[in-house]
């Protein structure tokens, strides 16, 4: 469509805007697709916004200074694309749900520290014999035979003391029962 479009009640008539879109829509979309780094949805949004601006400013479309409205449309579309890019760069990058689902979960050191303190306090409530067995078997990683030799008691006694020590810890630490099985 050429310049000099008719104005109805201060705006461009709908059929004239449809004609402008048919005539200039594809080149405008191609430009905005390049400026949007191949994002079709963003380019389509920018094309729509460009035509909204054309509808809002009919005086630009009827100027007699040029033969076609295409340069005006391309300029408006280009400026909208630049503004959209600047707005995206001013905000932090958006993160989709898929990214969050695949993100590594970092261990919470505060929870681990609290658990360590709780276990230390609970171990202090055990009898010295039970505590010795737990220290040997669970904290120092000794086998039942090694713990029995180090403590000078039979292996069966090491096993029973470990069993009763863990049972006592389950009572003292009810929230950690699953960890003590």
What does the DSSP 8-state code read for residue 62?
Answer: S
**Packing angle between helix 70-90 and helix 14-35, nearest 10 degrees?**
50
Separation CA 57–CA 48 (nearest Å): 14
Which pLDDT belongs to residue 4?
Answer: 46
Residues of the chain with pLDDT under 50: 1-8, 10-11, 180-181
Which pLDDT belongs to residue 177?
Answer: 57
The token duo for 71 is: 């340069």
Which pLDDT belongs to residue 88?
Answer: 84
Phi then psi dihedrals of residue 19, to 5 deg: -65, -40
């Amino acid at each position: 469509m050429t310049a000099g479009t008719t104005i109805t009640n201060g705006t461009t008539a709908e059929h004239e805007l449809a004609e402008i879109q048919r005539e200039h829509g594809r080149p405008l979309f191609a430009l905005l697709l390049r400026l949007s780094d191949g994002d079709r949805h963003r380019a389509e949004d920018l094309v729509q916004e460009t035509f909204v601006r054309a509808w809002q400013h009919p005086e630009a479309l009827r100027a007699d200074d040029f033969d076609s409205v295409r340069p005006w449309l391309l300029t408006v579309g280009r400026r909208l694309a630049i503004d959209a890019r600047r707005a995206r760069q001013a905000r932090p990058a958006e993160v989709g749900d898929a990214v969050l689902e695949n993100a590594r979960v970092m261990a919470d050191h505060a929870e681990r520290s609290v658990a360590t303190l709780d276990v230390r306090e609970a171990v202090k409530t055990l009898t010295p014999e039970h505590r010795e067995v737990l220290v040997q078997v669970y904290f120092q990683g000794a086998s039942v035979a090694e713990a029995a030799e180090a403590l000078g008691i039979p292996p069966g006694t090491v096993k029973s003391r470990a069993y009763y020590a863990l049972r006592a810890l389950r009572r003292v630490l009810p929230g950690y029962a699953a960890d003590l099985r």
